[in-house]
Amino acid sequence: MRKPVRKSSKKTQKNNFEERFALMVGEYQKAKDVLDSMPEGTSEYQTQKKVCDKLFASAERYINKN
């Protein structure tokens, strides 16, 4: 009997990377839309800006890591 052939793990990793990155970008865009709708200078604006900055930084780290 032949042994079952394994699928290439690189292709699986590439698909997983694209899916996770697409989720990160979508999450950032939603947060950015909320930020754009807020008036500048308020405490809520500053809080949302920090959220956007954290999301952007995590996506940037994810790209640099992979």
By the 10 Å C-beta count (0-12 exposed, 13-18 middle, 19+ buried), 56 is classed as middle
Residue type, 47: T
Q: Indicate if the pLDDT at residue 53 is higher than 70.
A: yes
Residue 12's pLDDT is 62
For residues 40 and 54, what is the distance between their CA atoms, to the nearest angstrom? Answer: 18
Whole-model pTM: value is: 0.71
Residues 49, 50, 52, CA angle at the centre, nearest 5°?
65
Q: Indicate if the pLDDT at residue 3 is higher than 70.
A: yes
Render pLDDT for 12-50 as a digit per residue (tens, 0 to 9).
Answer: 666 788 889 999 999 999 999 999 999 988 999 999 999
Q: Tell me which of 56 and 7 has the higher pLDDT.
A: 56
